[in-house]
Copies of this chain bind each other. A is one copy, B any other.
């Protein structure tokens, strides 16, 4: 009940969600030209709402449109992925600092409970995939909203995370360091619980920096090809 639920779910919203997940999951291949009518038949939509959704997605940088020449999913280079992590580093550092100053005690308790459930998931099966695919975003998601910085949360949740997830799906599914990441998450949560914004920022930046270098290494080793 934190936010009023969507009152009416318009076709344009539906189109937006469908396309976004299709792009993120890789069902729509980057670079390939895509026709509007094809998309319509694929998602059972008509062109009006579809075009509105296309406009939104273009504005978010997930696809590019050339007038009269069609739309294609944005094609991305390894360097751009690493640049994304550089942006995350600074922005999420800020988010962590503000979260430490502003999250309620209840939110912090929830955050730590989330980490407990993540730990169980990792210990049980090798739930690395789930942890990295959803759990990781869950953690960062909570901190972004906890920053109480509307625009910051909007940019992280609405833009960056989708981009990162898109790349993640293309790469080998998980970053392959769940235990280490969990430990880093724990320390960040601890700093937030102690209301130490400076430390939370430092730890978050280091956390994302480590993730970036991990990806960088894999790319150099040829494990990841984009």
Contacts and interface: CB of A to CB of B under 8 A. Distances in A.
- Band of interface residues on A: 35 or more
Contact of A94 (B8, B48, B86, B151): B86
A30 interface: no
B87 A91 contact: yes
A60 interface: yes
Contacts of A154: 61
Contact of A8 (B9, B10, B67): B67
Given A56-B58, A150-B83, A151-B83, A93 B94 contact: no
Nearest to A86: B94
B67 A149 contact: no
A67 B53 CA distance: 15
B51 A149 contact: no
A66 B3 CA distance: 14
A160 B66 CA distance: 24
B87 A151 contact: yes
A118 B163 CA distance: 37
Nearest to A68: B8
Interface string A106-124: 0000000000000000000
Interface string A147-164: 001111011001110010
A210 to B, nearest CB: 18
Contacts of A198: none
A7 B151 contact: no
A119 to B, nearest CB: 30
A109 B12 CA distance: 47
Contact of A87 (B12, B52, B94): B94
A59 interface: yes
Interface of A: 6-10, 12, 48, 51-53, 55-56, 58-61, 66-68, 80, 83-84, 86-87, 90-91, 93-94, 98, 149-152, 154-155, 158-160, 163
23 contacts: A7-B66, A8-B67, A10-B67, A12-B55, A48-B51, A51-B52, A55-B55, A55-B56, A56-B56, A56-B58, A59-B59, A61-B151, A61-B154, A80-B150, A80-B151, A83-B151, A84-B151, A86-B152, A87-B94, A87-B149, A90-B90, A90-B91, A90-B93
